[in-house]
Chains A and B, each alone.
Chain A
Amino acid sequence: MILYQAIIFLPLIGAAFAGVLSLRQQHVPAEIISVVCICLSFLLSCFAFYDIAITHNQLTITIARWIDSANFVANWSLRFDTLTAVMLIVVTSVSSCVHIYSIGYMHNDNARARFMAYLSLFTFAMLMLVTADNLLQLFFGWEGVGVASYLLIGFWYHKPSAHKAAMKAFVVNRVGDFGFALGIFVIFYLFGSIQFDDIFSDAFMYKGTKILFLGVEMPALEVAAILLFIGAMGKSAQLGLHTWLPDAMEGPTPVSALIHAATMVTAGVFLVCRMSPLIEYAPIALDIITVVGALTAIFAATIGMTQFDIKRVIAYSTCSQLGYMFFAAGVSAYPAAMFHLTTHAFFKALLFLGAGSVIHALSDEQDLRLMGGLWKKIPLTYSLMWIGSLALAGFPFFSGYYSKDMILEAAWASQSYIGQMAFWLGCVAALLTAFYSWRLLIMAFHGKPRCSTEVFEHVHESPPIMILPLIPLAIGAIFAGWFGYQLFVGYDMVYFWGDALFILPEHRAMEDAHHVPDWVKRLPVWLAASGVGVAVIAYAVLPAIPAMMISFLRPLHKLFYNKWFFDELYDILFVRSFVNFGKILWVRGDQGTIDAFGPDGMSELVLRGSDKLSKLQSGYVYHYAFAMIIGVVTLLSWYFSGFMG
């Protein structure tokens, strides 16, 4: 029991120590303590995974009271089931690698103890999120990872772009959290509880229940599920609330790997899977999740094709892959979503850390146009990036192959129009994924070096402390799919997940996915291969093609390159207009109306009669006291007059 609690609280202890040490500028002890804590946490997680997911010793540990007011009760407690166990492994393993990697990556930074503190704090919040046994504690972790992300994106707070991106991330996430919070209220209103156990066991009873939401009568569970999904959209950067994720690349690269690829951004997928017993009874919400996921998958991929910042390409790729996970969940293939979440964590963290290694080698250059020809100089990084890309594109026997194909097959097997649409969009996105991955590889590693000779001379392989943590991630990227297939989505699926995931018997996508026609199984691989082919032809064989395509499809390219103009639109709609609106309210409302008719108007009348300000100043207090005394006197005299009369 205490070991289970240690999984969650060791990172907090690490964060506290590192935080205190950072104020004293003691970096090395901070690094050692935080790394040891997180690695211990990982080892314990492995044990917990075996105990919970394999031998099925599920348990809930209550630690302390938190908020209680009548029937609104939320305790601090840790829930360990298979879903939690999977997330524990994902979070602590990637976090351990990133912690170790950061020692090397940040070794020139004079605030690296603070960096380690934030990383550990993030890990703690993420673990609180995945072990929550009620919605409010989940919300605690949810906002906690948001703050950690805010702190880490803005870690280099000197850079205006960094603190701007940090604030953007927090505020956009808050928009999602607004939906999440309302979802919690709806659920509490409906169920009279925010405990998962109560919600899950009672969900079926509210199948037909309607509630009045914003004056409109709506199916209760649909409303709750959609509101929670809005929260998930914010955290997982889905279409509409995605704008913060690319900007979040302002943070140091290890942050991008841990938070904005492997763990935090998948919290939305986790939430949807966690709430599957409720969402299963909300068919409209499921359709919405499918549509949003599928659209995000293709939308982000189109942008990813055109970007030149190496980290942004991978960020849009993350956005797109999260879309896959969501539409898997949307067709009730939660195991497939969780499977892809797990494999994606490994290969995307690998890709990010590899990109970090490239950036490190190039003296902090991130622009693909200024790279090229690096593969001989940094062969280890190069081969690791290949492994990551192969896994991402879903080449046979790499982890992405198992999980992404599973999702596409499930989408096809769901037999609904929306599922079919998701399947086809997913297939196109798979093509684009392979294309932009190899575009990145070729632009970064092949061709002639386009950086200055000075920088190129300096290119060097990263130190072992940055390469070693990539090895386990690479192993994960290669073998996680093969290893996890039977457990997550294969024959052992039902036993493995137990009651951590719930699928209605009539939602058959998951079972039918194993019996799809052969072409459905082969299509994604062929598409990926052709995507690679196109990229190789366009960027290695005939380098004139991209420029030609761009001029040929100028409007389309402009749309993709400018990220579909979401930022510009939001800037006009919200950012500028909100500040202007505030100014108008302040000047016209407060000063122009309330004050003009209220105190200012009156004081003008008074001031006209009085020349001496100072007299007034000392006078009004006495006036006031006088008025009060008169009041008391009046009351007393009233009493006495009544007494006499």
Chain B
Amino acid sequence: MLSSWPILSIVTFLPLLGVLFILLASGKNKSSEHNCKMLAIWVSSFTFVVSLLLYLGFDNSIVGYQFEEQFEWISGSGISYHLGVDGISMPFILLSTFLTPLSILASWYSIKQRIREFMIAFLVLETMMVGMFASLDMMMFYLFFEGVLIPMFLIIGIWGGPRRVYAAFKFFLFTLAGSVLMLVCIMFMYLKAGTTDIPILSKFNLLPEYQFWLFIGFFASFAVKVPMWPVHTWLPDAHVEAPTAGSMILAGVLLKMGGYGFIRFSLPMFPDASVYFAPFIFTLSVIAIIYTSFVALAQTDMKKLIAYSSVAHMGFVTIGIFTLNQQGITGAMFQMISHGLISAALFFCVGIVYDRLHTREIDAYGGVADIMPNYAVFFMIMMLASVGLPGTSGFVGEILVLVGAYKSSSSLAFFAATGLVLGATYMLWLYRRVVFGRAEKSEIMRMPVLNNREIGILLPLTIFVIWFGIFPAPLLDVLNPVVALLSETVSNAQIATASLE
């Protein structure tokens, strides 16, 4: 009954429908701006509710794609409008639809100009994100994948901070290089296989020498998005300049595009190349974890610090994916979802005090716990979740990745696990400098306590972070079957490669 509805298309394009309504609500006065905000929040919330149907209707026992929709796009071309979800993409769609209304709510008062355009950009962004995760056709995927970046550019470039031009330009340069290569690869695969259908391509055995080059092409694009060291330097700048809501979505969802790409394309389509390149990726990831942790230690800007910590956490993700075993990949998936929630909350925590004091300099703060006790509690929980405390979602992902990593190599696990110590150092130090101490500056004494809107954003995030930390089964049950199949596929390739040698 449920399956007779094109739920995926509805979830994907509902936000666009909202855009249409916002466009109709023309006018420049205050009330129409308010209407825009209300429309945006209602549409995105409704989208979330509809997307819950995906979870409720999802059958964990089916390993393949569900809620599939397929229409010929260009007849006989092998390119089609093909949507569907499996255990890997479904959690990401929910993450996107969950974070979007929260982000819109987060920018309720902090965005003061061009509110209508901002809401439109956000809803378009949501469509692009959901569409990307739901696409089962490479061409569609490519369109959404690159399309996501346009509203994000605008959000940074128009509503960003003083150096927004530089930040957006940097973002652009990094991404463009990767995208072109990926497009070439898609074209090549299309030529070889005669289709851009992802399920078909996943089973299409490409020659190892093709895999090698295709892997590099896709890697160029995904590595920038993750971002992996050394192509991570766009991220701190983008975060610093982006408005709070932009940072929330950027860290929450957009950083997961790379990891998703690796799992969706690189692993099943280029298994031999994945095995071949794994040590290389491990090296980059370990450098990312250690290097960016140190850099985070030296930061004086709260947002930059959390941005660098994101790079370190994404290092765990890329390690997990390329361990190619079940714990590693499951851990990477879990880490991505968990980091989506935690980093969104952390960036919002920065946004809360930024709205009050208009600075992100760590030294400008101190003693916030006295003035905003509730804030201190939420920030504390998220800080601890970020350092992977057991009982929070951060732990489950990290421990699974490390268990998987140890299976690959003890040295890998050893160096990656240093992130446990380093991560604790910079996060606790940040918290200490911002929240602890005695509030002495009069600006800080005047900071108002959390309002209901802010609590309304932090509370659901906190609930999920703790819930997934204590009872991660709902997510693990979704992930386990599909990851088991995936790791089996890749390990077969591993065995084949080994026997060749």
On A, residues with C-beta under 8 Å from B are 23, 64-70, 72, 136, 139-140, 143-144, 147, 150, 154, 157-158, 160, 163-164, 166-167, 170-171, 174-175, 177-178, 181-182, 184-186, 188-189, 211-215, 578-579, 581-583, 585-586, 589-591, 594-595, 598-599, 602-603, 613, 616-617, 620-621, 623-625, 627-628, 631-632, 634-636, 638-639, 642
> Given A143-B390, A144-B391 in contact, is the A69-B476 Cβ separation under 8 Å?
yes
| Bound form: Cα–Cα A599–B177 in Å | 11
B374 within 8 A of partner (CB): yes
4 other A-B residue contacts (CB within 8 Å) besides A65-B471, A189-B406: A140-B391, A214-B410, A578-B294, A582-B297
Check if A67 sits within 8 Å of B472, measured CB to CB.
Answer: yes
Residue pair B174, A599 in contact (C-beta under 8 Å): yes
Q: Tell me the minimal C-beta distance from A50 to chain B in angstroms.
A: 31
User: Contact check: which of A64, A181, A589, A599 meets B169 at CB < 8 Å?
Assistant: A599
Contact yes or no, B166 A603, CB < 8 A: yes
Instruction: Judge if B428 is at the interface, Cβ distance under 8 Å.
Output: yes
How distant is A619 from chain B, measured CB to nearest CB, in Å?
10
Q: Tell me whether B466 is interfacial, beta carbon within 8 Å.
A: no
Judging by beta carbons under 8 Å apart, are B154 and A621 in contact?
yes
Provide the bound-state CA to CA distance between A543 and B39, in Å: 82
Known: A158-B437, A171-B424, A603-B173. A589 touches B295 (CB 8 A): yes
Are B172 and A181 touching (Cβ within 8 A)? no
B 408-437 binary contact with A (CB < 8 Å = 1; else 0):
001101100110110011001100100111
Provide the bound-state CA to CA distance between A631 and B295, in Å: 37
A66–B186 CB distance below 8 A: no
Interface 0/1 of B427-450, CB less than 8 Å to A: 011001001111000000000000
* Bound complex: CA A642 to CA B74 (Å): 14
| Assembly CA distance A625 to B435 (angstroms) | 43
Q: From B370, B390, B484, name the one whose CB has the most chain A CB atoms within 10 angstroms.
A: B390
Q: In the complex, which residues of chain A have a beta carbon less than 8 angstroms from the beta carbon of B373?
A: 23
The one of B179, B293, B417 in contact with A178, judged by C-beta atoms closer than 8 angstroms, is: B417
Which A residues touch B150, using CB under 8 A?
621, 624-625
A70-B484 in contact given A140-B391, A185-B402, A186-B406 (Cβ < 8 Å): yes
CB distance from B22 to the nearest CB of A (A): 20
| B389-A624 in contact (CB<8A) | no
Q: CB-CB < 8 A to A639: which residues of B?
A: 74, 77, 79, 190
Q: Given the interface contacts A214-B411, A578-B297, does A69 sit within 8 Å of B417 by beta carbon?
A: no
Chain A residue numbers with a CB within 8 Å of B473 are 65-66, 68
Closest to A64 in B: B471
Chain B positions 449 through 492: 1 when the CB is less than 8 Å from some CB of chain A, otherwise 0? 00000000000000000000011110010001001100000000
Residues in A with CB closer than 8 Å to B432 are 163-164, 166-167
Beta-carbon contact of B153 and A621 below 8 Å: yes
Q: Give bound CA distance, A178 to B417, whole Å.
A: 6
Q: Which residues of A contact B391 (CB under 8 A)?
A: 140, 143-144
Asked if B212 CB lies within 8 Å of chain A CBs, one says: no
Contact in complex: A67, B400 (CB < 8 Å) = yes
Whether A594 pairs with B233 at a CB distance below 8 angstroms is: yes
Question: By the criterion CB–CB under 8 Å, are A598 and B417 in contact?
Answer: no
Count of inter-chain pairs, beta carbons less than 8 A: 211
Does A582 contact B296, Cβ atoms closer than 8 Å? Answer: yes
Complex Cα gap A158–B420 (Å): 27
B93 within 8 A of A: no
- Expressed in whole angstroms, the Cα–Cα distance for A590 and B330 within the complex equals 31
Contact of B410 among A139, A212, A599, A616 (CB under 8 A): A212
17 A-B pairs (CB sep. < 8 Å): A66-B471, A69-B400, A72-B403, A136-B390, A178-B418, A181-B420, A182-B410, A579-B298, A583-B298, A586-B299, A603-B169, A616-B165, A620-B168, A627-B176, A628-B147, A632-B143, A642-B191
Q: What B residues does A623 contact at CB under 8 A? A: 172
Could you say which residues of chain B place their CB within 8 Å of the CB of A625?
150
Contacts of B425 in A (CB 8 A): 171, 174, 578
What's the dominant secondary structure at chain B's contact region? helix
B403 contacts A140, C-beta separation under 8 Å:
no
- Interface size on B, as a range, is 35 or more
Flag if B168 contacts A144 (CB, 8 Å): no
Q: A69-B476, A158-B437 are in contact. Are A617 and B390 (CB under 8 A)?
A: no
CB distance A590 to B295 under 8 Å? yes
Contact of A582 among B170, B295, B438, B471 (CB under 8 A): B295
Q: Decide if B11 is an interface residue (CB 8 Å cutoff).
A: no
Tell me if A163 and B399 are in contact (CB < 8 A): no
When distances are taken between beta carbons in the complex, the residues of chain B under 8 Å from A163 are: 432, 436-437
Which secondary structure characterizes the binding site on chain A?
Answer: helix
> Are B420 and A178 touching (Cβ within 8 A)?
yes
B139 near A182: Cβ-Cβ < 8 Å: no
- CB-CB under 8 A from A188, the residues of chain B are 403, 406
A69 to B472, CA, bound (A): 11
Docked pose: A579 CA to B234 CA in angstroms: 22
Q: Does B403 contact A582, Cβ atoms closer than 8 Å?
A: no
Instruction: Determine whether the beta carbon of A585 is less than 8 Å from that of B390.
Output: no
The answer to whether residues A635 and B173 also contact, given A23-B374, A586-B298 and a CB cut-off of 8 A, is no
User: Nearest-CB distance from B88 to chain A (Å)?
Assistant: 14
| Chain B minimum-CB-distance residue to A125 | B391
> How many angstroms between the C-alpha atoms of A70 and B231 in the bound complex?
34
Q: Cα distance A617–B166 when bound, in Å?
A: 9
Does chain A have a CB within 8 A of B351?
no
Residues of B within 8 A of A583 (CB): 298
A635 & B190 in contact (Cβ 8 Å cutoff)? yes
**Does B369 sit at the interface, judged by CB under 8 A?**
yes
Taking the closest CB of chain B, its distance from the CB of A221, in whole angstroms, is 15
- B146 interface residue per 8 A CB criterion: yes
Is residue B327 within 8 Å, beta carbon to beta carbon, of the partner chain? yes
Query: Which B residues are in CB contact (< 8 Å) with A213?
Result: 410
B36-71 vs A: 1/0 string, CB under 8 Å?
Answer: 000000000000000000000000000000000000
Q: Which residue of A lies closest to B439 (CB)?
A: A158
Output the nearest chain B residue to A177 by Cβ-Cβ distance.
B420
> A136, B233: Cβ atoms under 8 Å?
no
> B149-167: which residues lie under 8 A (CB-CB) from chain A?
149-150, 153-154, 157, 164-166
Please tell me if the beta carbons of A617 and B157 are within 8 angstroms of each other in the complex.
yes
Residues of chain B lying within 8 A (CB to CB) of residue A65: 471, 473
Residues of A within 8 A of B414 (CB): 182, 214
B139 and A635 contact, CB distance less than 8 A: yes
Q: How far, in whole Å, are A14 and B297 apart by their CA atoms in the complex?
A: 37
Please name all residues of chain B whose beta carbon is closer than 8 Å to the beta carbon of A632 when the two chains form the complex.
Answer: 139, 142-143
A222 CB to nearest B CB, Å: 14
Is A157 in contact with B298, judged by CB distance below 8 angstroms? Answer: no
Complex formed: what's the CA distance from A638 to B139 in Å?
Answer: 14
Whether a CB of chain A sits under 8 angstroms from the CB of B331 is yes
B171-186, CB under 8 A of A: which get 1 and which 0?
Answer: 0111110011001001
How far is it, in angstroms, between the C-alpha of A639 and the C-alpha of B77 when the chains are bound?
8
Question: Is B242 engaged at the interface, CB distance under 8 Å to the other chain?
Answer: no
CA gap between A602 and B169 in the complex, in Å: 10
Contact with A624, one of B153, B191, B299 (Cβ below 8 angstroms): B153
Q: Which residues of B contact A613 (CB under 8 A)?
A: 165
Residues of B within 8 A of A636 (CB): 74
A-B interface, 4 closest residue pairs, ranked by CB to CB distance from nearest: A582-B298, A185-B406, A582-B294, A140-B390
| Bound Cα distance A636, B297 (Å) | 49
For the complex, give the distance between the alpha carbons of A585 and B297 in Å.
10
List of B residues within 8 angstroms of A642 by Cβ: 191
- Would you give the shortest CB distance from B480 to chain A, in whole angstroms? 6
Q: Are B424 and A585 in contact (CB under 8 A)?
A: no
Residues of A within 8 A of B295 (CB): 582, 585-586, 589-590
Task: Point out the residue from B77, B175, B231, B331 that lies within 8 Å of A69, measured CB to CB.
Answer: B331
Q: How far is the CA of A595 from the CA of B476 in the complex (A)?
A: 39
Set of chain B residues within 8 Å of A591, measured between Cβ atoms: 233
User: Are B187 and A67 closer than 8 Å at their CB atoms?
Assistant: no
Q: Are B417 and A181 in contact (CB under 8 A)?
A: yes
